[in-house]
Amino acid sequence: MRQYPEQPVPANGTRTTSLTHHHIIHVMWTGRVQARVDGAAERGRLQPFSHRNAKAMTDVIFLHGAWHQPAHYAYVAECLRAQGLTVELPDLHMLSLAESVAKVQAVVDDSPRPPVVVGHSFGGLTAGSVTGAAVYVFLTAWVLLANESPGELLAKVRADTGEEPELLATHLDDAGLLHLDPTDARRKLYIGVSDRDAATATALLRPEPPSIFGAAPEAAPWQHGTSVYVAGIQERTIAPSLVDLFASRCSTSLTWPTGHAPHLTHPDDLVQVIIEAAR
């Protein structure tokens, strides 16, 4: 796995992709790869897709973060499929970490060759717990050791700094589930995302149980494989010290001018990383 040079970006730090009047989006990087996804202009980057490759082979498994769902990553999945890769986006909502790992491990085990496993945000817990991945890609994600939990690391940040780490604003409903405040989520999760896609992404968010902060992997198979960490310099949901820690744990780290949603602000760069990992 090699480092990729940063592509030029506008002054506001957001890379945009032009749409033709035929509604075909051209995703370009370094003049080598061109993905064509019909209808993307009509759907935007966050609409659910209906296509599913019937082959048993799975090239890429994309794992959503907490409060998120597979539809958040539909655009990147379409771009990867346009390049001939098979993509699975399992829905892990309300599953325990053990249940999530078992569900994803079954997909890995059924694939004729090891797939690339991509984990976004809290999806990194599941991604890093799966054995047999060709490459582990941690997308602004939590990269944990065995028996380490997000809550434990957040407590360490408090102890080291004497301050509360910046977290997403939440409230509990009558069922004891945590909901994100939409305004705060827009401001922290979707920095650099267009208003259209940010509104869609925010509407797709789902409540989560507080127990997600206590989830701790029993093992860390990612430590024995190749791993890539993608960090955003505008990250607002993971403490800077933790971002540095997670990046240092991986084989390779990339830092992009984005926030917590590189799959929306830098889909072309992300597709490039995944394609390179799948080779």
> pLDDT digits over 91-136, tens only?
999 999 999 999 999 999 999 999 999 999 999 999 999 999 999 9
What average pLDDT does the segment 185-198 reach?
97
Residue 44: per-residue pLDDT: 56
Per-residue pLDDT at 267: 98
Name the band, by pLDDT with cuts 50, 70 and 90, for residue 57. Answer: confident
pLDDT at 33 over 80: no
pLDDT of residue 56: 67
What's the pLDDT score for residue 251?
98
Distance between CA atoms of residues 79 and 77, nearest Å: 5
Confidence of residue 165 (pLDDT cuts 50, 70, 90): confident
pLDDT interval class at 168 (50, 70, 90): very high
| Residue-averaged pLDDT of the chain | 85
State the fold for domain 24-278.
Rossmann fold (3.40.50)
> What residues does 179 pair with on adjacent strands?
171
pLDDT tens-place string over residues 216-240: 999 999 999 999 999 999 999 999 9
The model's confidence at residue 11, banded by pLDDT at 50, 70 and 90, is very low
